[in-house]
Amino acid sequence: MKAVQPHERKVVNIHDEGAFTSYDPSSVSETGTQYIQLNEKAGLNEGFYIYRMEPGASSTPHRHGGAEEFLMVQGELIDNDGTVYKQGDVVWLGAGTEHTSHTKTGCVIAVYAEAAEEEPG
């Protein structure tokens, strides 16, 4: 078996503040959110990534371009319909679902998205 080469592996730790990038795509003013996405070939909100929200942060309203699955690693997240996701919850949202979320406590979420998010409507 061939050894994994340095350029073939990336490792970061979710407890390292420097590993996160501020989430603020153009034309969106989302504050208090950051992400880690190691696959440089994946677009924003596509594939696997870690999403972190500071206490009091909210996501921008959006529609899922494909199905999304996520694991609540830490904290709580509240969807606009009042659904509360807690640490340890594994969630699936179908393609085309629209929502926005906020957190009172802050949270860390491991996300897999089939396709990028879109504007709702």
Q: Read off the tokens for 33.
A: 């959110």
Domains annotated for the chain, with CATH where assigned, are: 28-118 (2.60.120.10)
- CA atoms of 37 and 113, how far apart (whole Å): 12
Q: For the beta carbon of residue 47, count every other beta carbon within 10 angstroms.
A: 17
pLDDT in tens, the chain (121 residues): 999 999 999 999 999 999 999 887 555 667 889 999 999 899 888 999 999 999 999 998 999 999 999 999 999 999 999 999 999 999 999 999 999 999 999 999 999 999 988 888 8
Residue 28 has what pLDDT? Answer: 60
Residue 30 has what pLDDT? Answer: 74
Q: How many residues does the chain have?
A: 121
- CA atoms of 50 and 16, how far apart (whole Å): 12
Residue 25 has what pLDDT? Answer: 59
Q: Residue 48, Cα to own-chain centre: how many angstroms?
A: 8
Instruction: Assess contact for 110 and 65: CB atoms under 8 A.
Output: no
Residue 60 has what pLDDT? Answer: 87
Give residues with Cβ within 8 angstroms of 100, minimum separation 6: 58, 59, 60, 61, 62, 79, 80
Residue 102 has what pLDDT? Answer: 95
- CA atoms of 70 and 50, how far apart (whole Å): 9
